[in-house]
């Protein structure tokens, strides 16, 4: 991504989203965002894009082994989940009492 301007994304850490593209595409299964990387335009979503990581044995972990971890996916592959409508929704931003808030376009509900 370009470093000239800071990108503005509607998805934040802790939001509930659905994956709309890729191997883990599921429009009816909401998941939680664990991390948002604004510079790369990627998100880390719970249980999506699982990658295998080999752990070397150390003094604390004498066995080592193979572990599954979530990998980052592009932010354009996820969409916010509207709990009231039980579907994915787009977002609009409005200024209410001097504060910029996110509002669901489908239900009109405020997103916290």
Q: Is the pLDDT of residue 3 over 80?
A: no
Which residues on neighbouring strands pair with residue 19, listed in sequence order?
26, 78
Nearest alpha-carbon partner for 75 in 21, 2, 14, 3 = 21
- Residue 6's Cβ-side half-sphere holds a number of Cα atoms within 13 Å equal to 2
Q: Count other Cβ atoms within 10 Å, centred on residue 75.
A: 19
With 90 as the cut, is the pLDDT of residue 95 above it? yes
**Residue 28 lies inside a defined structural domain of this protein:** yes
Confidence at residue 2, expressed as pLDDT on a 0 to 100 scale: 60
**DSSP assignments along 59-78, one per residue:** SS-SS-EEEEEE--EEGGGE
Lowest mean pLDDT among 1-5, 47-51, 58-62: 1-5
The residue range of the domain holding 68 is 16-81
Looking at residue 5, what is its pLDDT? 83
Q: Give mean pLDDT, residues 76-96.
A: 95
68 within domain boundaries: yes
The stretch 97-101 carries a mean pLDDT of 94
> Is 49 inside a domain boundary?
yes
- Does the pLDDT at position 57 exceed 90? yes
Residue 65 is assigned to a structural domain of this protein: yes
Total domains in the chain come to 1
């Amino acid at each position: 991504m370009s470093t000239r301007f800071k990108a503005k994304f509607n998805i934040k850490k802790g939001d509930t989203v659905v994956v709309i593209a890729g191997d883990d595409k599921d429009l009816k299964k909401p998941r939680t965002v664990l991390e948002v990387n604004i510079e790369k335009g990627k998100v880390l979503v719970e249980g999506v894009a699982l990658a295998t990581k080999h752990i070397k044995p150390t003094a604390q972990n004498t066995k080592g082994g193979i572990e599954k971890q979530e990998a980052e996916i592009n932010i354009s592959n996820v969409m916010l989940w509207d709990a009231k409508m039980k579907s994915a929704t787009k977002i609009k931003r409005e200024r209410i009492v001097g504060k910029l808030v996110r509002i669901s376009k489908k239900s009109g509900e405020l997103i916290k």
